[in-house]
Amino acid sequence: MAAIQGGFLANLGRIYALYTGTFIGFTIFIGLLEFMGVPNRILGYLFIFLTLGVYALIGWLARTAEVNEYYVAGRSVPAFYNGMATGADWMSAASFIGMAGSLYFGGYGGLAFVLGWTGGYVLVSILMAPYLRKFGQFTVPDFFSARYGGNVARALAVVVLITASFTYVVAQIVGVGIITARFLDIPFQLACFVGLLGILLCSMLGGMKAVTWTQVAQYIILIIAYLIPVVVLSAKVTGIPIPQIMYGQALEKIEALEKTFGIAQPYASAFTDAKGAYSPTAMWNFFALILCLMVGTASLPHILMRYFTTPSVKQARDSVAWSLFFIFLLYFTAPAYAAFAKLEVYQHVIGQPIASLPAWVSSWGSIGLVGACDGANAAQTFALCKGVTGNGDGILQLSEFRLHTDAVVLATPEIAGLPYVISGLVAAGGLAAALSTADGLLLAIANALSHDIYYKMIDPNADTKRRLVISRVLLGLVALVAAYVAGTLGADILFLVSWAFSMAAAGLFAGLVLGIWWKRAGDAAGVWGIIVGFGLCMFFLIATEFYGPWVKQSLSWMGDINIVKIRGRDVAYIWGINNISVGIFGIPAAFLAMLVAGWVSKPASAEMQDFIDSIRVPAGSVRNAEAAH
Amino acid sequence: MAESKLTVSQQTAYWEKTRGLMLVILAAWFVFSFLIHFWAPQLNTIRILGFPLGYYMAAQGSLIAFVLMCVWNAKAQDKIDHEFGVQDE
């Protein structure tokens, strides 16, 4: 590597073009193997182990002992590539595996994820990224410490960062577990730990530098893997391989089929309940979720720290635009994926005789993601059939077909009868999405522990070598704990991820925005903003999720509260709001707390205001108020 | 990096322009994130290429607007930076 090192940044275009070509060639090669009769299981192994091997190789080549490279990739990542890396960092198992599934079932309601997970970048671009880049430190808690008077604010920001990122990373490992379990044919718990190895190989040695260049590689794989099956489906169903334009036809066909099935709530109808009537509650939930996801986007440290790696403020701004463009490519395809998948199921699965169902039904059924619940004892074969009574007529009716949200993307190629090579490709893409996000999150957590807690608060004299060793050890430990939690609990990916967004939004957004845009805000404002916003958010999350009946009894003064049986618990919905958007309570509370604390306490010092002036302008040095003390 | 050469009044003028741009884009963001979707049920009665328009706006229209807003911010802010001579590359 040493010989190429000097030329690596200069040759980025050539290196990644070669890499993309090789990957496409490899996919075609696997297709040929399938054609020659190599068993599916081997094809799945090849896809998973070869891509893992490539990530590990990049991680190894990019190993580093430099602090600047370990934490911020040497601040040498051009806007375009940082955009791709952010895209991979951003698009997790929830985007790749979960989102189209939620669109499949939720129709218009699922579009809250599509909107919420893109629009937040506008906030990142106009409110934060350029100023955080100018500030030019290593972590998001660094900003809280510099802006709000030191270690109290830093420690609080670390608490929010770790809670949100840990919740998020558990969801990613569940995603990795689902894919490895299905395609390597091993138990889910074990699969979580196999996936973990992949994560550690990429990030342990090279920190941010290794993660950045692996994420670029992972973005290329995940976008190819997401687009190919939809393009093929579009060509198959409509004759034209541009799914993003052609799925309008699929929507029309779905609507016609819904009428024959007697479904009252049309797929594309906005803000309706199960009977198809207009529902204001559905509308408020839709907007609440969008707000939480967008504000969360602009608060999640693993994303914000990506903009610390660009060479300049200008490139940080450009890089946000590139990030959103690369993310957009997947997000505007997801509704097409969902529509074509739904059409396939409606046309070719429903109404089939049970005896002649294809092999994918049992292979996905055995890991509890698909159920064909016609017979009285179907629940013995399909875990998903628990509580479903089929009519036993030997035909699969719509009400007897069960599909898990997280299986829609992964299983659709098989459902549509596409060659298995496409299934393997999708699995590799899902794995890339989950691993790349897990890398970024684990790095954010490990950096907060090693840089913010250990170096800044416990031992400011620690030398570089010691700091990096500690960071690596912590990275490994956090990953192990996360894999253990994921393997034993498992959970709905989309819910875990959405909660992480709400936590970050309630805890960090107000402090970041007002820290840059409201000079008067003093130390007290920053500290109280986090305590009130994050505290309230966590209180409502835990109370509504785990103590629903108590909420209904004790908080009835708040207004309308009802109990919904979901995820095996009695969950409380306050004002009809699903706790997936629990940030809706914490975000305004954080702003209110900051405004009150900011006005009653004394304004920020002259040095602090000078510091804020210096990060608002791209040129010139940062006049850090902390250093003046 | 050289020390920023802005006088206090230049700094104020620079920040007013920057804030103005931020507020305009923030308003556009609000329109495409929330406002237009209030009318999704009504827009859904219009169909283009099979797409109900309300569905299309949430699935694609707003997303395209978001990408354009980020590009717009990057370009417009860069222009402001050059106007005051405070660009960093």
Contact check, Cβ <8 Å, A619/B73: no
Q: What is the mean pLDDT of residues A297-307?
A: 94
CA-based nearest distance B10→chain A, Å: 11
Instruction: Give a yes or no: residue A600 inside a domain.
Output: yes
CA-based nearest distance A127→chain B, Å: 7
**Is the alpha carbon torsion for A174, A409, B70, B48 positive or negative?**
negative
pLDDT at A250: 92
Q: Closest partner residue to A121 among B22, B70, B87, by Cβ? A: B70
> Which amino acid, A605?
S
Is the model's pLDDT at A5 over the cut of 60? no
- Residues B44-65: tens digit of each pLDDT: 999 999 999 999 999 999 999 9
Name the DSSP letter for residue A267.
T
A579-A485-A587 Cα angle (round to 5): 30
Residues 6+ positions from A348 with CB-CB distance below 8 Å = A415, A416, A417
Nearest CA in chain B to A107: B55
Instruction: Give a yes or no: residue A556 inside a domain.
Output: yes
* Percent of chain A clearing pLDDT 90 (strictly above): 55
pLDDT at A4: 47
pLDDT at A191: 85
Q: Which residues of chain A does B21 touch, with a Cβ-Cβ cutoff of 8 Å?
A: 126
Residues A488 and A580 in one domain: yes
pLDDT at A1: 40
**Distance (Å, whole) CA A36 – CA A28:** 12
Interface of A with B in 73-132 (CB under 8 A): 108, 111, 114-115, 118-119, 121-123, 125-127, 130
Residues A574 and A592 in one domain: yes
Q: Which residues of chain B does A287 touch, with a Cβ-Cβ cutoff of 8 Å?
A: 34, 37
Q: What is the mean pLDDT of residues A11-16?
A: 91
The confidence band for B29, taking pLDDT boundaries of 50, 70 and 90, is: very high
Is the model's pLDDT at A465 over the cut of 60? yes
Q: Tokens 């610390």: give the residue.
A: A308
Residues 6+ positions from A460 with CB-CB distance below 8 Å = none
The confidence band for A64, taking pLDDT boundaries of 50, 70 and 90, is: confident
> Which amino acid, A470?
I
Instruction: Give a yes or no: residue A258 inside a domain.
Output: yes
Own/partner pairs, A598-607, CB within 8 angstroms, 24+ separation: A598/A514, A598/A518, A598/A520, A598/A521, A598/A522, A598/A524, A598/A525, A599/A520, A601/A522, A601/A523, A601/A524, A601/A525, A602/A522, A603/A519, A603/A520, A603/A522, A604/A519, A604/A520, A604/A521, A604/A522, A604/A523, A605/A522
A396: left (phi over 0), alpha (psi -120 to 50) or beta: beta
Helix (H) or strand (E) holding A264: none
What are the sequence ranges of the domains in chain B?
A: 25-81
CA-based nearest distance A620→chain B, Å: 4
Instruction: Give a yes or no: residue A412 inside a domain.
Output: no
Crossing angle of helices A408-415 and A151-184, rounded to 10°: 20
Is the model's pLDDT at A130 over the cut of 90? yes
Q: Which residues of chain A does B2 touch, with a Cβ-Cβ cutoff of 8 Å?
A: 619-620
Interface of A with B in 285-344 (CB under 8 A): 286-287, 290-291, 294, 311-315, 317-318, 320-321, 324-325, 328, 331-332, 335
Contact check, Cβ <8 Å, A617/B14: yes
Nearest CA in chain A to B10: A617
**Distance (Å, whole) CA B2 – CA A619:** 7
Query: What's the token pair of residue A489?
Result: 């609990």
Contact check, Cβ <8 Å, A313/B63: no
Crossing angle of helices A207-238 and A79-90, rounded to 10°: 70
The parent domain of residue A393 ranges over 349-402
> Which amino acid, A337?
Y
A314, A617, A624: best mutation site toward chain B, by most B Cβ within 10 Å? Answer: A617
- Residues A75-106: tens digit of each pLDDT: 889 999 999 999 999 998 888 988 999 999 99
Q: Closest partner residue to B33 among A119, A127, A621, by Cβ? A: A119
| Of residues B67, B87, B64, the one with CA closest to residue B18 | B87
Residues A448 and A474 in one domain: yes
pLDDT at A478: 87
Helix (H) or strand (E) holding A108: none
Contact check, Cβ <8 Å, A335/B59: yes
C-alpha pair distances (Å), A24 with each of A18, A176, A326, B78: 10, 23, 19, 38
Query: Model ipTM?
Result: 0.95
Q: Tell me whether A273 touches chain B (CB under 8 Å).
A: no
pLDDT at A467: 83
Residues 6+ positions from A556 with CB-CB distance below 8 Å = none
Q: Closest partner residue to B81 among A278, A286, A618, by Cβ? A: A618
Residues A389 and A505 in one domain: no
Own/partner pairs, A235-243, CB within 8 angstroms, 24+ separation: A236/A416, A237/A340, A237/A343, A243/A333, A243/A336, A243/A337, A243/A340
* Percent of chain B clearing pLDDT 70 (strictly above): 94
pLDDT at A491: 65
* SS3 (DSSP) at A120: helix
Q: What is the mean pLDDT of residues A423-442?
A: 91
**Distance (Å, whole) CA A376 – CA B87:** 71
**Distance (Å, whole) CA A407 – CA A426:** 11
The confidence band for B4, taking pLDDT boundaries of 50, 70 and 90, is: low
Contact check, Cβ <8 Å, B77/A130: yes
Contact check, Cβ <8 Å, B41/A619: no
Nearest CA in chain A to B14: A617
Q: Which residues of chain B does A244 touch, with a Cβ-Cβ cutoff of 8 Å?
A: 60
CA-based nearest distance B60→chain A, Å: 6
Query: What's the token pair of residue A121?
Result: 């970048």
Contact check, Cβ <8 Å, B41/A270: yes
B43, B55, B64: best mutation site toward chain A, by most A Cβ within 10 Å? Answer: B55
Residues A299 and A362 in one domain: no
Q: How far is CA A127 from the centre of its chain?
A: 22
CB atoms within 10 A of CB A243: 25
Q: How far is CA A226 from the centre of its chain?
A: 15
Contact check, Cβ <8 Å, B89/A314: yes
Residues A246 and A266 in one domain: yes
Q: Which residues of chain B does A249 touch, with a Cβ-Cβ cutoff of 8 Å?
A: 49-50
Give chain B's length.
Answer: 89
Residues 6+ positions from A189 with CB-CB distance below 8 Å = A177, A487, A488
**Distance (Å, whole) CA B3 – CA A621:** 6
Q: Which residues of chain B does A317 touch, with a Cβ-Cβ cutoff of 8 Å?
A: 73-74, 77-78
Q: Which residues of chain A does B6 touch, with a Cβ-Cβ cutoff of 8 Å?
A: 617
Largest CA distance in chain A: 80
Residues A205 and A258 in one domain: yes
Contact check, Cβ <8 Å, B52/A114: no
* SS3 (DSSP) at A418: coil
- Phi–psi pair at A388, nearest 5 degrees: -100, 125
**Is the alpha carbon torsion for B44, B47, B52, B53 positive or negative?**
negative
* SS3 (DSSP) at A249: helix
Average pLDDT of chain A is 90
Q: Tokens 């590990």: give the residue.
A: A56
pLDDT at A6: 55
pLDDT at B3: 52
pLDDT at A628: 43
Q: What is the mean pLDDT of residues A295-308?
A: 94
| Of residues B42, B57, B27, the one with CA closest to residue A114 | B57
Q: Closest partner residue to A312 among B3, B55, B89, by Cβ? A: B89
A121: left (phi over 0), alpha (psi -120 to 50) or beta: alpha
Q: Closest partner residue to B63 among A291, A328, A616, by Cβ? A: A328
**Distance (Å, whole) CA A206 – CA A61:** 8
| Total count of domains within chain A | 2
| Of residues A189, A179, A257, A277, the one with CA closest to residue A222 | A179
Q: What is the 3-state secondary structure (H, E, C) of chain B?
A: CCCCCCCHHHHHHHHHHHHHHHHHHHHHHHHHHCHHHHHHHHHCCCEECCEEHHHHHHHHHHHHHHHHHHHHHHHHHHHHHHHHCCCCC
- Phi–psi pair at A575, nearest 5 degrees: 55, 30
Is the model's pLDDT at A513 over the cut of 90? yes
Q: Closest partner residue to B29 among A122, A130, A283, by Cβ? A: A122
Crossing angle of helices A420-447 and A464-489, rounded to 10°: 130
Contact check, Cβ <8 Å, A315/B70: no
| Of residues A254, A315, A316, the one with CA closest to residue A105 | A254
Residues A468 and A570 in one domain: yes
Q: What is the mean pLDDT of residues A487-514?
A: 88
pLDDT at B2: 45
Q: Which residues of chain A does B60 touch, with a Cβ-Cβ cutoff of 8 Å?
A: 244, 332, 335
pLDDT at A3: 42
pLDDT at A626: 62
Q: Closest partner residue to A268 among B5, B49, B52, by Cβ? A: B52
A299: left (phi over 0), alpha (psi -120 to 50) or beta: alpha
Residues A337 and A355 in one domain: no
Instruction: Give a yes or no: residue A413 inside a domain.
Output: no
Contact check, Cβ <8 Å, B59/A111: yes
- Residues A41-63: tens digit of each pLDDT: 899 889 988 898 888 888 888 88
Q: How far is CA A277 from the centre of its chain?
A: 32
pLDDT at A2: 41
- Residues A227-275: tens digit of each pLDDT: 999 999 999 999 999 999 999 999 999 999 998 888 888 898 999 988 8
Query: What's the token pair of residue B79?
Result: 């222009």
Is the model's pLDDT at A627 over the cut of 70? no
Q: Closest partner residue to B1 among A270, A324, A621, by Cβ? A: A621
Is the model's pLDDT at A291 over the cut of 80? yes
B67, B80, B86: best mutation site toward chain A, by most A Cβ within 10 Å? Answer: B67
**Distance (Å, whole) CA B52 – CA B43:** 7
Residues 6+ positions from A466 with CB-CB distance below 8 Å = none
Least confident of A24-28, A603-607, A621-625, B73-77: A621-625
Contact check, Cβ <8 Å, B59/A620: no
> Which amino acid, A587?
I
